Structure 1
Amino acid sequence: MIEHFFQCPYCWENISMLLDSSITQQTYVEDCEVCCNPIQITANFEAEVLIGFEAIDIEQ
């Protein structure tokens, strides 16, 4: 598990999430810890190193 910091696409606050680096490609929805809006998280790992991350507003 790694902790990754990013900006919420709704409230723009800096937040962090724990990502499971043993799963190479993952997409899931998690609520912002500040504003509680749903964020679609997409993370890609190679050899347990984060190579891609996206956090998008799913209510667009």
Structure 2
Amino acid sequence: MSEDVPLPKVNQRYRDDHGALVTVTSVEETRVVFMRDGYPHPCMRPMYNFLGKFKPEPGEE
């Protein structure tokens, strides 16, 4: 993992690689838990995967 990539923060908004909005709900050492807009269940990705496929929304960095 690159050291210059900031880690996600709780309540931060991101877009996935398909353009869908998500809101981070939990950040742990090796994983990120988030909620997708319009989907009622929490989702999880390993940290390396989240950082590679999700980009912060402008103004959320």
* TM-score range relative to shorter protein: 0.3 to 0.5
Higher helix fraction: Structure 1 or Structure 2? 2
In terms of Rg, which structure is larger? 1
- TM-score, normalised with respect to structure 2: 0.37
